[in-house]
Structure 1
Amino acid sequence: MKNAAPRGAKEQVRELLVRYGERTSDRRPLPDFLVIGTKRGGTTSLWRYLIQHPLVPRLFPAWNTKTSHYFEENWGRGEAWYRSHFPTERQRAALEKKHGGPSKVGEAAPLYMFHPEVAGRVADLMPGARMIVLLRDPVERAFSHWKERRGEGVEPLDFAAALEAEQSRTAGGDWPASDWYSYRARGRYLEHLEPWLARFDRSQLLFVQSETFYREPAATYAGILDFIGLPAHDLPAYDVFNDRPGKGMDEAVRAELTGYYRPFNAALEERLGMRLTWP
């Protein structure tokens, strides 16, 4: 019983801060950029790098990590609720005065790329925003996704069985099931990117191979900062966060997935005009 009061007090403080954010939402500009994908593609690491830049403030309140989940899970809460997660104009001006450059605000939500309604919602609310898209080898992405769900205790099946069950599990349109078990579908990147390509100018979308990001984090980070409109900033270290390496995949499953994705990857290369280095 000793911990009951502190937990209750913490929840009260949290609620007060949320209400304060909503009351001051008219002074909180919408984000400048979104990291929209892909899941298990390095979005957590990229977000950790971005908020180390002195001109990229964290979400409000401080316990929020990298996303509000507004455009897919919390759409019904309204624009004021969404704005409440970002710094005020006054806070941004203070940052800019201190560091001598433009502040840039964003969030990282890999579900945004996958959810079929999000591109239209973002286009309606923030037509000038810039989107960063990390694209990982879909075979490795699928296995890493499965390992994450396995570790979270929501996936009782082995990888091969989970791939076989995916269609039946996600057929009902239930969003949690689509999020948890869409191992294969998430890697058909082009079908999820078409709504974004249709609604935004190509100059607003930056596509980065996750493998390049992992291999050359400093150079990739520098390019992303330039895309967002931020001054250069070197980090002391480029650690990998939330990593689940793809070791241990059955080779027969790997071969099947590699063949499955081959035509989807070729179509993606042609549509984006970029060379992908995946097998």
Structure 2
Amino acid sequence: MNSTRQLISAAQGSAVDRARPALLRAADIIGRLTHDGRALPGLLICGGQRCGTTSMYKALLQHPTIFRPVWRKGVHHFDEGHRGDVADYRAHFPLQSHLDRAEHRHGTRALCFESSPYYLFHPLAATRIAHVLPDVKLLVLVRDPVERAYSAHAHELARGYEDLPFREALAAEPWRLDGEEERLLRDPTAESHAHRHQAYRSRGEYADQLDRISPLFNPDQIKVVDSHRFFTDPVPVFEEVLNWIGVRPLGTPRFERHNARPRQDLPTDLRDELTEHFAPHDEALTLWLGETPSWRSGRP
């Protein structure tokens, strides 16, 4: 019986996978036709990559007045997906009437959101966001950048976006990224595989990225969360985020870690090299966190 159920489930999953492109096209068409009645997001999880964004996204989704895009976790409208107008972007989100009903039913603010961690690192994303969503809240999660770099490499390797071992990929990063940010700034339609998928050191230099977006938004629009705090004691951190976006807590969600990948221990010499590299960047991050980052403080 269990085998039969597993076969049925697998067949159903396969059918959904085959139908997904057509369903996405249909959803895009319907969304575009009804864009006037759809909500724009009040919150963006915009980074950092491999810093717990999926776990935060899944926790927020369990709140009855917080809604995701209709089909995609991340729309990527403000980075490599920047092709359409505001109507195209709005088409991805639920109807405003759906949010209004939820707000009335639960007595607290309703909003929709998306999670696109490349927004923090893409050089044009913040300007595009500020133009379309001037009042949006930007949530940024950060973790030990040494662990982030190693985790990102394992992630990109598994997805087929990287073919070098970690040591060689770190050595290749300077020439891989050489001129790529300038090219993205020069050509708004450009895409860069290396900039998005192989920036292991650069994407862990969090303070530089935060300093780039900060002139475009009010200070209370940007919140930076140390992922270690979220993973070790999630409830107060989660409620802190809810309070910041103006949503009353309604129950306690299940907190889970997502997208972890098994990997060998990082060689000591590489860990030491990266720890030294990130030292000034972590010191600058202290101003954003209001305290020393957990991975530098020695806190358990």
TM beyond 0.5: yes
Instruction: State how far apart, in whole Å, the 2-side matches of 1:239 and 1:202 are.
Output: 29
Offset at residue 160 of structure 1 (A): 1.0
Pick closer, same or farther for the CA change 1:245–1:208 going to 2, 3 Å. farther
Offset at residue 57 of structure 1 (A): 1.7
Q: Residues 1-279 of structure 1 correspond to what in structure 2 (within 5 A)?
A: 11-60=21-70, 63-64=71-72, 66-173=73-180, 175-244=192-261, 248-270=265-287, 273-279=290-296
Pick closer, same or farther for the CA change 1:252–1:204 going to 2, 3 Å. same
Offset at residue 172 of structure 1 (A): 4.4
Helix, strand or coil at the partner of 1:242 = coil
Contact map agreement 1:218 1:234 (CA 8 A) in 2: no
Pick closer, same or farther for the CA change 1:246–1:131 going to 2, 3 Å. farther
Offset at residue 269 of structure 1 (A): 1.6
Q: Note the residue ranges of structure 1 that are not aligned, 5 or more in a row.
A: none
Moved more, 172-181 or 221-230: 172-181
Deviations 1:94-117 (A, max 9, x none): 212222222011111110000010
Q: Note the residue ranges of structure 2 that are not aligned, 5 or more in a row.
A: 1-11, 181-190
Instruction: State how far apart, in whole Å, the 2-side matches of 1:101 and 1:51 are.
Output: 15
Instruction: State how far apart, in whole Å, the 2-side matches of 1:275 and 1:29 are.
Output: 37
Contact map agreement 1:222 1:233 (CA 8 A) in 2: no
Deviations 1:196-226 (A, max 9, x none): 2111111111111011111111221111111
Deviations 1:140-175 (A, max 9, x none): 110000110121123222111110011111224251
Helix, strand or coil at the partner of 2:236 = helix
Query: CA RMSD for the aligned pairs?
Result: 2.3
- Counterpart amino acid of residue 48 in structure 1: K
Offset at residue 235 of structure 1 (A): 2.9
Moved more, 265-274 or 33-42: 265-274
- Counterpart amino acid of residue 102 in structure 1: R
Offset at residue 246 of structure 1 (A): 6.8
Helix, strand or coil at the partner of 1:40 = coil
Offset at residue 258 of structure 1 (A): 0.3
Pick closer, same or farther for the CA change 1:223–1:248 going to 2, 3 Å. same
Task: State the identity as a percent.
Answer: 34
Contact map agreement 2:234 2:255 (CA 8 A) in 1: yes
Pick closer, same or farther for the CA change 1:109–1:7 going to 2, 3 Å. closer
Moved more, 249-258 or 232-241: 232-241
Moved more, 9-18 or 196-205: 9-18
Deviations 1:122-144 (A, max 9, x none): 11111111111101111111000
Helix, strand or coil at the partner of 1:234 = coil
Instruction: State how far apart, in whole Å, the 2-side matches of 1:158 and 1:104 are.
Output: 42
- Counterpart amino acid of residue 281 in structure 2: F
Normalising by structure 1, we get a TM-score of 0.91
Normalising by structure 2, we get a TM-score of 0.85
Offset at residue 53 of structure 1 (A): 0.4
Pick closer, same or farther for the CA change 1:18–1:187 going to 2, 3 Å. same
